[in-house]
Amino acid sequence: MSSYLFASSPCSVSRFSLLLGSSLPFFGIKSSAPRFTRRRHTSKSWAHLWTRSSSKLFSALSSPPPAYDDVIMLGIETSCDDTAAAVVRGNGDILSQVVSSQKARRLAGVFNLPIVGVHHMEAHALVARLIERNLQFPFLALLISGGHNLLILAHKVGHYLQLGTTIDDAIGEAYDKTARWLGLDMRKGGGPALEELALEGDANSINFSIPMRQHKDCNFSYAGLKTQVRLAIESRKISMEHNPISLANLDDRRSRADIAASFQRVAVLHLEERCQRAIEWALKIEPSIKYLVVSGGVASNKYVRARLSHVVENSGLELVCPPPSLCTDNGVMVAWTGIEHFLLGRFDPPPPADEPEDAMFELRPRWPLGEEYSQGKSEARSLKRARVFPSLTSMIQGSVQN
């Protein structure tokens, strides 16, 4: 019996349902329904997807829809602080249910182990020191992902200066949105799909405007570029819904490829210009800098690496990029950053083994990595993510002084 995996996620956390069992005969056969669907949309979008997918599946079969009692589903919920799993039968019987809060603290408490809190973006930057052992402080880092654009000057472990950040959308989000609008296969991610399609297009066919050229800082903005892409798609009469590129004719595919290539050229040119200015600023602050680290999910893009390599070489620096498997979110980067801090004596003692389930923890969803460089403060729109917590750098410096 084959299994189908579906995901419903209106937020940036993951929720999975795995169909464990059914008496229906259609599992294991080929059909037009997706084997795996992962979307980050509203519940309305998910309801439409499920209705559309299931109706296609059942209409292709002579069998009637399943009876509720015949379905057994495993649901998995993960977020920043909880992991939960349950097995539920279609008639409403809850066969099993477990919830684990703060899985790391539980393990540390049970086995009496010290625990190291790790900043996600710091981990992206420091994992480069695992794969390039000659990478010494200070260095410049560009961290680019679906939710972040960040330029930092790394003085030492836990001491960072923020030169620039995104004032609205990050480059990874722009890649994903453009890929979705162009009807690309998102199973491997919007970025890789768009990068592949862009190889077929003319990168100079559409003259998209480069964001924020009038602002002489190191901050990023991709909201305006997304709007330009959407208007270009609409002007070419390309439907942005229910129009997969697999069904496009030759002219339609070429048009989509031109949009993808033109978008990628301008999106990355925005990175190049900001990096060039950041290098100039960083060398004034720390003349001994020799490396630019580029990490985060978007750093897996070969075009991004190639273009930034030219910027770095022209500035007399060296480019360090972790392998793609260590650019996307991974446990290795967290473990390595934990090692860096642990060896400096920065860790917490083991939590109580019997820590109550309702223990309160401080979560920092908008936690800055470093203090802002005075010249790097945005003169454009207000930053989308307000600085509501002291930076990691200021907290570490404060604890050292105390």
200 and 319 housed in the same domain: yes
% of the chain at pLDDT higher than 70: 78
Query: In the predicted model, is pLDDT for residue 11 greater than 60?
Result: no
The larger pLDDT score, comparing residue 95 to residue 30, is at 95
Count, in order, helices (H) and strands (E) of the chain: 12, 12
State whether 156 and 285 are in the same domain: yes
CA distance 214 to 247: 41
> Within 167-245, where are the H helices?
171-181, 190-198, 223-235
Above 50 in pLDDT, residue 33?
no
d(CA 255, CA 331): 40
Question: Which one has a higher pLDDT value, 90 or 344?
Answer: 344
Q: Is pLDDT larger for residue 40 or for residue 256?
A: 256
Residue 24 is assigned to a structural domain of this protein: no
Quick check: 256 and 247 in contact, CB under 8 A?
no
Residue 385 Cα to chain centre, angstroms: 16
pLDDT exceeds cutoff 70 at 76: yes
Is 66 domain-assigned?
no
Q: Which domain holds residue 102?
A: 72-127+326-368+389-401
Last residue of a domain, one of 306, 324, 342: 324
Q: Is residue 292 part of a domain?
A: yes
Q: What is the predicted pLDDT for the residue at 26?
A: 33
Q: Average of pLDDT values for 5-32?
A: 40
Do both 342 and 306 map to the same domain? no
Q: What is the mean pLDDT of residues 197-207?
A: 97
Burial category of 306 from C-beta neighbours within 10 Å (exposed 0-12, middle 13-18, buried 19 and up): exposed
- Average pLDDT over every residue of 37-42: 35
What is the DSSP track for 33-91?
S-SEE-----HHHHHHHHHHHHHHHHHTSSSPPPPGGG-EEEEEEE-SSEEEEEEEETT
15 against 40, higher pLDDT:
15
Q: 41 pLDDT exceeds 70?
A: no
Band of residue 325 on the pLDDT scale cut at 50, 70, 90 = very high
**Between 88 and 280, the higher pLDDT residue:** 280
Domain contains 179: yes
Q: Are residues 362 and 318 in the same domain?
A: no
Give residue 93's pLDDT band: very low, low, confident or very high (50, 70, 90). Answer: confident
Average pLDDT over every residue of 144-158: 94
Residue 42 lies in a domain: no
Q: Tell me what pLDDT residue 400 has.
A: 77
Q: The domain that contains 291 carries what CATH number? A: 3.30.420.40
Count structural domains, the chain: 2
In a domain, 221, yes or no: yes
Would you say residue 213 lies in a domain? yes
Does one domain contain both 295 and 361? no
Domain boundary among 294, 324, 354: 324
pLDDT of residue 50 exceeding 90, the answer is no
Percent of the chain with pLDDT over 90: 56
Across 208-217, 273-282, 331-340, 387-396, least confident range: 387-396
> What integer is the mean pLDDT of 305-320?
96
Residues 295 and 354 in one domain: no
Residue 91 domain-assigned (yes or no): yes
Q: Which of 80-94, 124-138, 204-218 has the lowest mean pLDDT?
A: 80-94
- Same domain membership, residue 278 and residue 336: no
Do 196 and 244 reside in the same domain of the chain? yes
**Residue 78 confidence (pLDDT) above 60:** yes
Last residue of a domain, one of 309, 324, 339: 324
Flag whether pLDDT at 9 surpasses 70.
no
Highest mean pLDDT among 76-80, 239-243, 353-357, 392-396: 392-396
Q: What's the pLDDT at 386?
A: 52
